[in-house]
Structure 1
Amino acid sequence: MIKFGTGGWRAIIGDEFVKTNIQLLTQALANKMIKEETKSFVIGYDRRFLSDRSAQWMSEVLAGNGIQVYFINRIAPTPMVMYSVKALNLQYGAAVTASHNPADYNGIKIFTEGGRDAGKDVTDDIEHYMEDVKDIQLIPFDKALEKGTVMIYNPFNDYIDTIINLVDLEAIKKKQLKILLDPMYGVSKTSLQTILMTARCEVDLIHDRHDTLFGGRLPSPSAKTLGRLKNEVVEKGYDLGIGTDGDADRLGIIDEKGNFIHPNAIMALLYYYLLKYKNWRGPVVRNLATTHLLDKIAEGFGESCYEVPVGFKHISSKMEETDALIGGESSGGLTIRGHIKGKDGVFAASLLVEMISVTNKHLSKLLDDIHEQFGKFDMVEDSFDFKVEDKERLLNLLYTHKKIPEFSYEVDRVSYMDGVKVFFKNGGWIIARFSGTEPLLRVFAEMDSMDKAKQVSEEMKAFLDI
């Protein structure tokens, strides 16, 4: 049974991610679109094994059901596909990608109007339609191209120009920054390199060849996976190191001193920059596993911070509802008002480069400014594998019986919005929740010191017996 998670459908290649399941999912999607009288769709794909072929298999089924397909016939960052949904004024689109998952995974992300991740109502609907699929209708890809039911579409220039028009290109040109880019064998190379070189940055690359095994690393930018980027930034005197995940909707940053800048800090930096230096106004939206430093910054500028469940679809919906300035998550994805309604690592990286150029301050100094004004927060993040019987036990413990540990700090309240989040009276918090993209239990804790964060995290882990 195909089940969508917080970031689309993802499965192991050759196990659940196989041609028959891809065709089944697409036929269900086509049936839904036909009922809704929606007749056009855009498809893109990343560099993973089978991504290009899977995009063709999807196109064949959609074309076989009389749906016009705009086929992006080049590797495309996921945000470029989302941009295409918005630019073409379509109701639906898709990217074949498993984002930052291990190399043996692939998947399909469904997008809806405005370039946003499909909500649970849409993905639930597709799952229900799958139950009633009896026949797969398709046209071979080459014949669909001949008929014009599948049309080759290249949004590269428009996507790049849109981002260039959203950043202060002249300020970046004057700074003449030296930047090292690590696409992590993914899809950001051409897009981000083009933008930065247009802004007269000196750009070098590592890990940019096509490697479906991602060099044996998880294609997720973190302190552990960006080791070479960190070393070369320091050794060769770069102003900034930029890492992007497999499909370029998330990023990781190395500052001029070789420090990994956590996505929480990236969100805080950009929100602070937009408020203080660009004089923009608006609230911020974060998921419940993202730093509360954003709350402090919002409060300091007379704005609000809204908390939502994990899944960028919740962030984009809340941003639209509140006219928020920025929205993001601790895993490295964010977007800004006026751009697509999904996360975009290419745009976020470009805006960070603008920030350095306009403020004439390195990231380390800007972070010092923020911490001096709003305080410092430390977070511990852990992920744990579990067996089927463990999950049942944990579900009963946390959700049915609603038990929590005897923490060393006084509890203020407990939220069950998404997982179990405990708020402490000292302003800290801890959350335990099951991942929506991988079979993992995630435990995040944030306090005003690393020792305290580690302490409550250990208390939660001991209580859960994991």
Structure 2
Amino acid sequence: MIQFGTGGWRAIIADGFTRANVRFLTQALANRMAREGSTDRGVVIGYDRRFLSDTAAWWAAEVLVGNGVPTTVLDRPAPTPTTMWTVRETGAAYGMVVTASHNPALYNGIKIVLPGGRDADLATTDALSEHANALTEADVRAVAPDEARSHSLVTVQTSLNQYLDAILDKLDTETIRNAHMHLILDPMFGVSETSLQTILLTARCQVEAIHDRHDPLFGGHVPSPTEDTLTALRHAVLESGADLGIATDGDADRLGIIDETGTYITANQVLVLLYDYLLTRKGWSGPVVRNMSTTHMLDRVAAAHGQTCYEVPVGFKWISAKMAETNAIIGGESSGGLTVRGHIPGKDGVYAGSLLVEAVAASGKSLSELYADIVERYGELVMVEAAYGFTAERRSQLASLIFEDHNLPDFTVLGHKTEKVVWEDGCKIYFTDGGWATIRFSGTEPLLRVFCEMPTRSQAQTVADAIATYYELS
């Protein structure tokens, strides 16, 4: 069965991710376009470096052509934001990206992009999955593989230059050039090397890359730029004396940073740094949008500048929608995705990494010094997070206990009084001392996620541990 989560449809290869299911989903999209009268506007298809991604892109193209849909296929693995940007610039009706983003190597999937380059909303993905799951092979209209590749309805896009130029046009490349920065890039065996390296070299940075070869197994690791997965990048930065290290996940829509001291800079810290940079040094004005599991330091920065921080559920579609509604200048999430006003309405690790380099260059300071200034001005909050697997039976038990019965630990024994609890997307507990905790099922993996943010790591870890103990998580 095809089931969408917060980041698209993802499934284990040869189990849920199969040729048949790719064809069913694509046929459902083609049928939707026919009902809308948007067939002539076409579809853009991109893909990452995962096993079967390039093949699955053409499985989709065969069905689209069979339904008379003009189809643009990128000619190489490319960052997901490239497809989103192309959908927006060409006025395409939809985009499809064959990717499972940061999931383990045994997964693949498809992300649907809406007109304007937006993440598909829940109504769209629910309708597509319901329709696709009701189809049979007899309902699928497709051309033969060799016919699709040479068909007049198919355009093979052979350049990423327009996407790269769009980012370069937004950057202060002169400031970056004058800073003479030395950078280490870790695409985590994914798709960002060519694009991000091209941008940084154009700005005259010295760039070295690690983990840049094609490996569908991602070196045996999960292609997610977290503190635990960036040990090699940390060593490379320290050994070479680089100014910072930049990592992106498998499809380059998420970001991870190592500063010049070898310290991991969290996605929350990157968001705060960039929001502050846009407000104070670039002279921008406007609110910020974050999801429920992202740092409240953004609230402090916003308040200090007479702005508002808006909170939305998890899923970047909520962030982009709220940004459009409020004209926010930046929006992001603690998992590493962010976007900036004027760029695509989807997360882009390539642009985010480039903009952070500009921020460091413009400051004349090291990244660690730059964040120390942030703490001095706004104080400090520390987040801890944990993820717990479960069986199908255990998931049902947890869902009932937490999200139906609203059975929560007694946090007063830890010295934290609950101000309110919100059940809109999982559970978020707000404490009167300014801290908070969230408990929710992941929308991309079979995991229960726990986040907690407090003034100190010890406080945050104590609350997170109490949640794990109370629900017997392991």
In the TM superposition, residue 259 of structure 1 has moved relative to its aligned partner by 0.5
Query: Which of 436, 440, 447 in structure 1 is aligned with 2:447?
Result: 440
Q: Aligned in 2, Cα 1:131/1:232: closer, same or farther, shift over 3 Å?
A: closer
Amino acid at match of 1:51: S
**How far 1:31 moved relative to its partner?**
0.6
Instruction: Report the residue type matching 2:31 in the other structure.
Output: N
Could you give the per-residue CA deviations for residues 337-360 of structure 1, whole angstroms, max 9, x where no partner exists?
Answer: 000000000000000111111111
Distance 2:36 2:159 in 1: 26
1:367-406 maps to which residues of 2 (within 5 A)?
367-406=371-410
Where does residue 428 of structure 1 map in the other structure? 435
Choose the corresponding residue for 2:65, options 50, 59, 63. Answer: 63
Distance (Å, rounded) in 1 between the aligned partners of 2:471 and 2:45: 42
More off after superposition, 145-154 vs 210-219: 145-154
Deviation per residue, 1:33-84 (Å, 9 max, x gap): 1111112000011000000000000000010001010011111100101101
Q: Deviation at 1:142?
A: 2.5
Give the partner amino acid of 1:212.
P
User: What's the secondary structure of 2:335's corresponding residue?
Assistant: coil
Deviation at 1:376, TM superposition (A): 0.4
Instruction: Give the whole-Å Cα distance in 1 for the aligned partners of 2:98 and 2:150.
Output: 23
Query: Which residue does 1:47 correspond to in 2?
Result: 49
Partner of 1:32: 32
Distance of 2:370 and 2:360 partners within structure 1 = 9
Which deviations, in whole Å up to 9, do the C-alpha atoms of 1:412-446 show, x marking residues without a partner?
00011111110000000011100000000000000
**How far does the alpha carbon of each residue in 1:100-146 deviate from its partner, in whole angstroms, 9 at most, with x for none?**
00000000000001111100011011123224434110012321333
The residue aligned with 1:197 is 201
TM-score, normalization: structure 2?
0.97
Where structure 1 has 5 or more consecutive residues not aligned to the other structure, the ranges are none
Matched, 1:140 2:144: yes
2:456 aligned partner: 449
The 8 Å contact of residues 32 and 129 in structure 1, kept in 2 or not, is answered as no
Q: Say which SS state the counterpart of residue 207 (structure 1) adopts.
A: coil
How far 1:401 sits from its partner (Å)?
1.3
SS in 1 for 2:227: coil
Pair 1:6 & 2:6 matched = yes
Contact 1:31/1:129, CA 8 A, preserved across alignment: no
1:99 aligns with: 101
Partner of 1:345 in structure 2?
349
Equivalenced residues, count: 466
The equivalent of 2:22 in structure 1 is 22
In the alignment, which of 296, 316, 337 is matched to residue 300 of structure 2?
A: 296
Matched AA of 1:404 = L
Is contact 2:435-2:453 (8 Å) kept? Answer: yes
Using the alignment, how far apart are the partners of 1:446 and 1:87 within structure 2? 39
Q: Is this contact kept in 2: 1:183–1:206, CA < 8 A?
A: yes
Distance 2:300 2:373 in 1: 13
Change in 2 beyond 3 A, CA 1:330/1:418: same
Query: Quick one: distance in 1 between partners of 2:365 and 2:119?
Result: 34
State the alpha-carbon separation in 1 of the partners of residues 348 and 8 from structure 2: 16
Question: In structure 2, what is the Cα distance between the partners aligned to 1:85 and 1:250?
Answer: 20
Instruction: Return the alpha-carbon distance in structure 2 between the equivalents of residues 465 and 145 of structure 1.
Output: 53
Name the counterpart of 2:280.
276
User: Partner letter of residue 74 of structure 1?
Assistant: R
Aligned to 1:316: 320
C-alpha distance in 2 between matches for 1:200 and 1:127: 46
Match in the other structure for 1:217: 221
Moved >2 Å (runs of 4+) = 131-134, 144-147
The equivalent residue for 1:73 is 75
Distance across 1 between alignment mates of 2:253 and 2:399: 31
Deviation of 1:370 after TM superposition, in Å, equals 1.0
Greater alpha carbon shift after TM alignment, 157-166 vs 384-393: 384-393
Amino acid at match of 2:2: I
SS at match of 2:453: strand
Partner of 2:181: 177
Residue ranges of structure 2 left out of the alignment (5+ in a row)? none
Q: What SS does the aligned partner of 1:44 have?
A: strand
Q: Say whether the 8 Å CA contact 1:218–1:225 is kept in structure 2.
A: yes
CA distance in 1, matches of 2:282, 2:335: 25
Check conservation: 2:24, 2:133, Cα contact below 8 A.
Answer: no
Distance in 2 (alpha carbons) for counterparts of 1:344 and 1:217 = 22
Would you say the 8 A contact 1:80–1:155 is kept in 2? Answer: no
CA shift at 1:198, angstroms?
0.4
Aligned mates of 1:153, 1:91 — CA distance in 2: 17
Provide the C-alpha distance between the structure 2 equivalents of 1:2 and 1:133, rounded to a whole number of angstroms: 11
Counterpart of 1:86 in structure 2 is: 88
2:2–2:133 CA contact under 8 A, matched in 1: no
Deviation at 1:377, TM superposition (A): 0.6
SS at 2:27 equivalent: helix
The residue matched to 1:438 in structure 2 has which SS?
Answer: coil
Q: CA-to-partner distance for each residue in 1:144-171, whole Å, 9 max, x for gaps?
A: 3333111111350000000000000111
CA distance in 1, matches of 2:445, 2:224: 13
Q: 1:251 maps to what in 2?
A: 255
